[in-house]
Amino acid sequence: MTPGAQSLITELDKALVRAPEPWRRDALRQMIDLFLSNADACDTAQTDVFDEVLYRLLKKSDRATLAEVAATLAPVQKGPAKVLGSLARHSDAAISGPVIALSPSLRDKDLVDIAERAEPRMLMAIAARPHIGESVTDVLLKRGNQDIKFRLIKNPNAKLSEAGFARLVIGLNGDKRLAAAISARTDVPPELRIWLVQALEG
């Protein structure tokens, strides 16, 4: 962050100490509007500044405000990662749900952290995301039930690691439906296909 941006954040921190809630809420909405009108043109450094400002303005916000912000920012292609990570960890599904389900800017490290603690409903939402990295699917396969595994396997944009595929194959326990779903994927490691064939024929 540039010295100028850091100075802005420092001044904001001082102002927020004595800022009344209505001022904070209005400033938050104005900053979100400003960000949304410029999001596509912002570079990483500029987005990071918006991220820090919004993160501070969101502190102590009520449930309705957090839910509104989550629904607004979740679909943004180049969203504020720190804010979205914080919202995605919220215990209220009305706040975390839209971000987990929709946000393309939610980082894999945030998803891994959430998946390691989340209840099955949230794990299912993560498994249905448009894009999921291997580090995230590894956790989902370790913690998820059969329904979550099926959702993940049938998601063509979920990347599974070799270890993830191996975990699936080892845990088949004669489940031909699951074996068929795994076999239908084009990215199954060749050395594991023989085990799938045996499971389907057994």
Q: pLDDT digits over 30-74, tens only?
A: 999 999 999 989 999 889 989 998 998 898 889 999 999 999 999
**Across all residues in the chain, what is the average pLDDT?**
90
Q: pLDDT digits over 84-98, tens only?
A: 999 999 999 999 999
Name the more confident of 45 and 18.
Answer: 45
Residue 83 has pLDDT above 80, yes or no: yes
pTM of the model: 0.82
* Longest Cα separation, the chain: 71
What does the pLDDT read at residue 21?
A: 81
Give dist(CA 160, CA 152) in Å, integer: 9
Cβ(71)–Cβ(101) below 8 Å = no
Residue 3 has pLDDT above 60, yes or no: no
Residue 188 has pLDDT above 60, yes or no: yes
Q: pLDDT digits over 138-164, tens only?
A: 999 999 999 999 999 999 999 999 999
Residue 11 has pLDDT above 80, yes or no: no
